[in-house]
Amino acid sequence: MRCFLLIGLLAGLSLPTLAARPTPTPPAPKPAAAKNTVRRHLIYFRDKTGTPFSVSRPEEFLSGRALQRRQRQQIAVLPRDLPVSPAYVQQVKAVAGVQLWYTSRWFNAAVIACDSVVLAQVQALPFVQRARTLNRGLPQGSAQPKPAPAPPTPEQTTADRSQYGKAYAQIRQVGAERMHNAGFRGEGLQIAVFDAGFTGVNTASVFASMFTQNRLLSTFNVVEKSAAVFGRDSHGTNCLGIIGGDEPGRYLGAAPKASFRLFITEDNVGGTEHPVEEVNWLVAAEYADSAGVDIISSSLGYTTFDAPSPSYSYADMNGRTALSTRAAAVAARVGMLVVNSAGNDGNNAWRYIAAPADADSIMTVGAADSLGRVGSFSSRGPTADGRLKPNLSAMGVATAIVNPSGTISRGNGTSYACPVLAGLAAGFWQANPRLTAQQVIALLQRSGTQATAPDNNLGYGIPDFVRAYNLANPGTPLANAPARGVAGLYAYPNPVGPGEPLYLQLPTGPGPGILEIRIYDARGALVARQRVAPAATGTVRLETAGLRPGIFTCLIGPGPQQQAVRFVKQ
């Protein structure tokens, strides 16, 4: 993989459903002769015969949140979603010399580490269909965090962007400040970030609220099979800040109140490139699915590998060949919104998008400057089979990013355009919870600056929250007015426990009269309605005793400019 910037299945069964708990690091292989080098391999099983799992009992291998996401979008649980046969797993593990790392429900496969002699024994098992060498042994240890760049020169900010700091331009370009003013900051949405490392996220003040508000839900280092993600590389830190940075007056991301699951899928230690990183992407996507993630933000891409792993050609960018592309397509089909950077090859010999950006049904993001012009480095479409790519674009030239030290600087890359749109999509989906992931993509495309004349440079152009919202809600449009500052609508405690009341803090203090609050469940059905008068502090108390556990959306009125906030009832 290359992280797209210019400057600056657990062993034995299915992947864990919720938290990514630390697991022991597999033992290092003993020194061996070159011909018996331990490498990792993806072995495919012939079927799922003998599995104790059933599509009629999906709660045995998918979380309640994952099932709600499917139900909301009318997506059936299919045999593809079943874990691999435990009997097959046990027989593979019984082969002397095999270390089993992960299993894959979607590919009906397993990742193992062994030498070539042992691999031949595994391939001789009657239920093993084929194997593909991923050409890397066990991973090296984590690299030391890279030194942070020098603090940038302070910039003057005007009052209308004081809450956002240097992030204002990238936020304003897609209408996210108006999204925030309307009360949509990603509350209740789960975003998975796939990257190479998140150095400094646990110490930088811009991420502090993510910890204090319990919005960092899990961490999973797929490379090392552990929970340790706050090292190895700073690229994930840069991208996470663009979405979830939350330090008003200094830096605000596009979805500063979303919840996050962080994954290391890219192994930058050692400086080599092999398809094992694409399989890491698959493993992370299946975990995200089982945990109930709504959006995947991936600023990663794959074209060229080190020998003897074969590289991809442009002809392979057809939506059905690359491992990561196939994984991204399934992730989209189970109802997650996959947002992936297009790549930075626009002005070199490759020129085109990289995998998994060629997948269908995902949002591939190109880079533009602050004036909406395509960045010269931004990878172009179409896919090899002629589909338009990228889908949309955002600011990826001189984007404001968070460094591990907590300083703010600027960088270029489709890596940075991708999280801008992942955050925008989170707020837009929060505002329109009855939409499917594919409808979210379609409406954002229709709101783009090139909606009537899309091309393979910027796709449908740069989307806008207000235009997209009004397309989705023609009867109750938002006013297309200048921003008045960052909204303060939020719900607490969130999640709310059994028998606990839920409190809404209104963004502008108490209103002039009675408010009507409607509560919708994950399917979009109206389940409760309350008329309340805000307290002098602008706080509204809601009773939740009559609600079953699940995800709910409050719509707050009266008036055409409704506001919304999501909450979880435990």
| From 195, 233, 267, 294, active-site residue | 195
Q: What are phi and psi of 562, to 5 degrees?
A: -70, 155
Give the DSSP H/E element, type plus range, for residue 110. Answer: strand 109-114
Q: Does the annotation count 345 as an active-site position?
A: no
Question: Directed axis angle between helix 323-333 and helix 276-291, to 10°?
Answer: 10
Q: Does the annotation count 299 as an active-site position?
A: no
If we measure between CA atoms, which residue out of 135, 131, 51 comes closest to residue 95? Answer: 131
| From 415, 447, 464, 521, active-site residue | 415
If we measure between CA atoms, which residue out of 394, 437, 429 comes closest to residue 415? Answer: 394
Longest dimension (CA), the chain: 80
Strand partners, 260: 191, 216
The single residue listed with the structure tokens 């993001």 is: 365
Contact criterion met (CB below 8 Å) for 82 and 55: yes
Tally DSSP H helices, then E strands, for the chain.
12, 24
Structure token digits, residue 527: 């389940």
Q: Does the annotation count 180 as an active-site position?
A: no
If we measure between CA atoms, which residue out of 423, 416, 425, 379 comes closest to residue 397? Answer: 416
How many angstroms from the chain centroid is the CA of residue 28?
31
DSSP characters over 404-457: TTS-EEEE-SHHHHHHHHHHHHHHHHHH-TTS-HHHHHHHHHHTSTTTTS-BTT
The single residue listed with the structure tokens 């092999």 is: 274
Structure token digits, residue 328: 């991204």
Strand partners, 132: 42
Structure token digits, residue 197: 């490392």
Contact criterion met (CB below 8 Å) for 424 and 254: yes
For residue 345, how many C-alpha atoms fall within 13 Å in the half-sphere facing its CB?
22
Structure token digits, residue 555: 């719509």
Could you give the residue numbers annotated as active site? 195, 235, 415
